[in-house]
A and B are shown apart, each in its own frame.
Chain A
Amino acid sequence: NAGVTQTPKFQVLKTGQSMTLQCAQDMNHEYMSWYRQDPGMGLRLIHYSVGAGITDQGEVPNGYNVSRSTTEDFPLRLLSAAPSQTSVYFCASSYSPGTPSQETQYFGPGTRLLVL
């Protein structure tokens, strides 16, 4: 199993550009999440999904869109990049309730984004 994969690893954008951060998992997890990591702030939840076709907002959703057309994929879209979106982005997945390891999150390696 590859686990949780993310692409690209690093991206530079200009203000106003759009892009999609890709995330895929091969563990058949129902739950998937996007976080951003900023110094002194830990990880903050952007959006999450509890299954294909179902998404919801986290703590800091503004400026980001998500969709979940398949169990495996959960892309994050930046609509019009701003310098405040410079961050490291992590995708995570976890099992659904009722499974022994339901509470453990599995993280991808991250995407480092710089917005100029």
Chain B
Amino acid sequence: GDSVTQMEGPVTLSEEAFLTINCTYTATGYPSLFWYVQYPGEGLQLLLKATKADDKGSNKGFEATYRKETTSFHLEKGSVQVSDSAVYFCALKLAGGYQKVTFGIGTKLQVIP
């Protein structure tokens, strides 16, 4: 079946450090890929997405590129802030009708001043 693999963390970084959170996937079809973010005490919200190979999603300084050859969608940010502390979920969804969204386990990011 479809699956998403990411490390659980926590990932602890100092403010202004470079962030990479790895995400790899397996899918039976050609999925769209997503990063969702969950701030403490809140629901998930979409951070960025990409719908086809080589697409780059970006938002709030975060970027991720859809790499079909390596089945990856790694999240990066050049300079993290304390306010980026949250749990980040990688996810995939196949096209057509109602398709289940498959989530990774989530990676907790802690940014210290």
Interface residues of A (CB under 8 A from B): 4, 31, 33, 40-43, 45, 48, 50, 58-59, 90, 92, 97, 103-105, 107-110
Contacts of B49 in A (CB 8 A): 103-104
Contacts of B41 in A (CB 8 A): 109
Which of B10-18, B63-71, B73-81, B98-106 lies at the interface? Answer: B98-106
Q: Which residue of B lies closest to A109 (CB)?
A: B43
How far in angstroms is the closest Cβ of chain A from B94? 10
Q: Which residue of B lies closest to A90 (CB)?
A: B43
For chain B, the count of residues having a C-beta within 8 Å of the partner chain is 24
Q: In the complex where A48-B98, A58-B100 touch, is A42 in contact with B106 (Cβ < 8 A)?
A: yes
Given A59-B100, A105-B46; 19 other pairs, CB 8 A cutoff: A33-B101, A40-B8, A41-B105, A42-B4, A42-B89, A42-B105, A43-B89, A45-B100, A48-B98, A50-B97, A50-B98, A58-B100, A97-B96, A103-B93, A105-B36, A105-B44, A107-B36, A109-B42, A110-B42
Q: How many A-B residue pairs have CB under 8 A?
A: 51
**Per-position contact with A for B15-57: 1 when CB-CB < 8 Å, else 0?**
0000000000000000010101000011111100101000000
Q: In the complex where A43-B89, A105-B101 touch, is A110 in contact with B8 (Cβ < 8 A)?
A: no
**20 pairs, CB–CB < 8 Å, chain A vs chain B:** A31-B98, A42-B4, A42-B104, A43-B44, A43-B89, A45-B100, A45-B101, A50-B98, A58-B100, A59-B100, A90-B44, A103-B93, A104-B34, A104-B46, A104-B49, A105-B36, A105-B44, A108-B43, A109-B42, A110-B42
